[in-house]
Amino acid sequence: MRAGQGRRPVTPVLLAPVVLAVAVGVYIVFAANGNAASNGAESQDPCDGPDVSRAAFLVDLRKPLDAGHVALPGALLRQAALEMAPGTDLGVYALSPHAEAPRTLLGRLCKTVDLAGLATESSKHSAADDCDLPAQVPPAARASARDFCRQRDTLVRRVDALAVETLGQGAGPTYLVEALEATAREFEGVPGTLHLFSDLVQHARWFSHAETPLPEWDYERMTAAWSELLMEESLRGFPPGTAVRIHYVPRVGTTDAEDGRTAHKRFWEGYFGGIAVAFDDQPAMAGYVPPSLAEASTAMELAAYELERLRHSGALVERERAEIERERAELARERAELARERQSLRDARRRVEADREELAAERRELAAARERLDTRGRGLVAPASATSEDSSVRLVAGQAVADMAGGR
């Protein structure tokens, strides 16, 4: 038997299971990779990116609310969260009774989806359930919306609980300016949106609206008191570009009247400087009498103000350092530009010299050409004269020969 004799050829029927198994394996691998990439894209937090927007909702519950309006700050928080743009990082804070820590973080919320854009027309205007999305919304967007609504509702419940605690309680110290200054530090370099629910009554030892007659509610007076307390340091304020919306709560007996409300708003417009402030007036609530504060600040408050002064001084140093670095970079750019201009001038001068040399060479070549032409012209004139003389000689000689022949 010859080599190879007796082997049977492999039929396509036997190879089919192998090919099918390989194809299924390849499909599973690619499907898994695709799902992983899709899940990675869907799980990416938009608030971790470089283009994140910042927002803060600061609620002042250091004074009692009317029983019929305890749900008001929570409802305003819900609406603010619904209206903010996707990719916004919202921090929710409540004023605290401590000057050294004038606000308490209740939680943070990242807006991952455009909830209003996904909602149906019916649910878009429904206060009961604005997360009731239509069936055509993709599952990933629906899951993100549900997660956002769950976190938002948790924060709303926390604010509602704090609002309920104000019922039947008196007012305490209110470090509103200190809380705003702490919030302004978060907005440095990244202007965002500030929501403030408050009656805008500052009640601290260094300045108190409650213990100051309404005609003396002057922003410059408060600034002078702050500067004296913090060794001539001024209030920080919010950076330009910040959007400020104040959910203003008038108080019966003081700011519910038109003149008192106007003077109060003008006072706080002075604090925010050139930033446009949108006042969203809320229902007027009952007035209150806060506890009287001693003239001297406590050691804890002085320490808190000293810390604020150091932070402010540090921020000024950092801004000056950044300005110096910016000026250095600008000087380096100007030096580089001057060097480029000098090099460009040198190159232009070299081109001019080269052009001059080329022009001189062309002139020399032209002069040489003219000289050669003149020489050639003189050479052509001399042979012509010689030819005339030769002709004359031949004519005279011919005449002489003719005469000699006639004499014979």
Q: Are 70 and 166 in contact (CB under 8 A)?
A: yes
Q: How far is CA 156 from CA 2, 57, 73, 208, 233, in A?
A: 90, 11, 8, 30, 37
β pairing state of 88-95 and 103-110: antiparallel
Mean pLDDT check: name the lowest of 59-63, 192-196, 253-257, 394-398: 394-398
Distance in angstroms (rounded) separating the CA atoms of residues 44 and 260 = 49
Of 276, 177, 161, 173, residue with least CA distance to 219: 177
Using the CB atoms, write b or e for 114-138: b if 16+ within 10 Å: ebeebbeeebeeeeeebbebeeebe
Distance in angstroms (rounded) separating the CA atoms of residues 93 and 197 = 10
94 has which bridge partners? 59, 104
Distance in angstroms (rounded) separating the CA atoms of residues 235 and 204 = 16
Q: Are 196 and 247 in contact (CB under 8 A)?
A: yes
Distance in angstroms (rounded) separating the CA atoms of residues 90 and 195 = 10
- Average pLDDT across the chain, whole number: 78
Looking at residue 104, what is its pLDDT? 94
Helices 139-165 and 72-83: crossing angle, nearest 10°? 150
Of 66, 102, 286, residue with least CA distance to 204: 102
Q: Residues with Cβ < 8 Å from 200, sequence gap 6 or more?
A: 176, 209, 246, 248, 255, 264, 267, 268
Task: Tell me which range, 26-40, 126-140, 194-208, is most confidently predicted by mean pLDDT.
Answer: 194-208
Q: Which residue has the tokens 């299924």?
A: 24
pLDDT band (50, 70, 90) for residue 319: low
pLDDT band (50, 70, 90) for residue 154: very high
What pTM was estimated for this model as a whole?
0.62
Task: Tell me which range, 9-13, 143-147, 283-287, 383-387, is most confidently predicted by mean pLDDT.
Answer: 283-287
Q: How far is CA 105 from CA 10, 173, 185, 234, 405, in A?
A: 74, 18, 15, 26, 149
Looking at residue 172, what is its pLDDT? 86
* Residue 125 predicted with pLDDT over 60: no
Q: What is the mean pLDDT of residues 279-298?
A: 81
Domain boundaries, the chain: 49-296
Mean pLDDT check: name the lowest of 78-92, 247-261, 290-304: 290-304
* Residue 129 predicted with pLDDT over 90: no
pLDDT band (50, 70, 90) for residue 396: low
Q: Which residue has the higher pLDDT, 113 or 407?
A: 113
* Residue 186 predicted with pLDDT over 90: no
Looking at residue 195, what is its pLDDT? 98
Whole-number CA gyration radius for the chain: 47
Q: Out of 2.130.10, 3.30.1490, 3.30.450, 3.40.50, which CATH number does the structure's domain 49-296 have? A: 3.40.50
* Residue 123 predicted with pLDDT over 80: no
Of 90, 89, 107, residue with least CA distance to 50: 89
Give the tens place of pLDDT for each residue, 366-375: 989 888 888 8
Mean pLDDT check: name the lowest of 198-202, 310-314, 361-365: 310-314
**Is residue 248 exposed (0-12), middle (13-18) or buried (19+ Cβ within 10 Å)?**
buried
Region of 253 (left: φ > 0; alpha: ψ -120 to 50; beta: rest) is left
